[in-house]
Amino acid sequence: MFLFDAPTLFAYLAAAVVLVLIPGPGTAWIVAQTVAGGTRRGLQAGLGLETATLIHALAAGLGLSALLAASALAFEALKWAGAAYLVWLGIKAWRERGDAEAAASAPTPAAHVYKRSVMTGVLNPKVAVFFLAFLPQFVHPERGWVWLQFLVPGILLSMIGFTHSSLLAFAIGRFGRRLSASPRVARWRQRLIGGVFVGLGLRLALQHRH
């Protein structure tokens, strides 16, 4: 017996595309990272966020997301950890000089951007609860391998999400390079990026479980 029938799979893919296209914190993160470091950095950020998507999908399949949905304490702990991390990133970005010379002399390592993005995605409890609420609609326990029925849609969602992130990064890449040409504009760019990060952190802090 196949894990997914064609109608279920097509319905999921249609819903996933719509969900990915709706602007949210992930979109803001990709835009900020691309403006800060160009297309390559935006791609690294997108890859990190989609890695977090896979982690959440697997966690949902293993039942770990159910803990976040059922436990107010677990949800609040993860929420505040994620909010604090985003605010810290915002303050760090605000304090950086942001000029082109500084960026050239000390480029952000690819692994660093990737790890930041993974942590940003993993530390968002809303994503975990979303997976627990959304994916079960397309899971049929009688077909077996329930954890795989969570993971496969998670992989598909990651692929769709990374395609969207890549297009966004390429589209904004040129604009980001223009912003880096002027030291003064670059400084304000860093402050804008810092403001985005702090805003995302505050947005996460104000979220509720329902």
* 166 found inside a domain: yes
* 202 found inside a domain: no
- Look up the domain containing 43 and give its range: 27-71+100-183
Q: How many domains does the chain have?
A: 1
The pLDDT of residue 135 is above 90: no
* 59 found inside a domain: yes
23 CB-contact burial (10 Å; exposed 0-12 / middle 13-18 / buried 19+): exposed
Give the residue with greater pLDDT, 179 vs 161: 161
Task: Supply the pLDDT for residue 164.
Answer: 92
The pLDDT of residue 103 is above 70: no
* 55 found inside a domain: yes
* 17 found inside a domain: no
Model confidence at 177, pLDDT cuts 50, 70, 90, reads low
Q: What average pLDDT does the segment 141-145 reach?
A: 71
* 19 found inside a domain: no
Task: Supply the pLDDT for residue 76.
Answer: 74
Task: Supply the pLDDT for residue 163.
Answer: 94
Mean pLDDT of the chain: 75
Cα separation of 108 and 90, whole Å? 15
Q: What average pLDDT does the segment 6-29 reach?
A: 81
* 50 found inside a domain: yes
Task: Supply the pLDDT for residue 167.
Answer: 92
Give the residue with greater pLDDT, 124 vs 40: 40
* 83 found inside a domain: no
Place of tokens 């480029």: 107
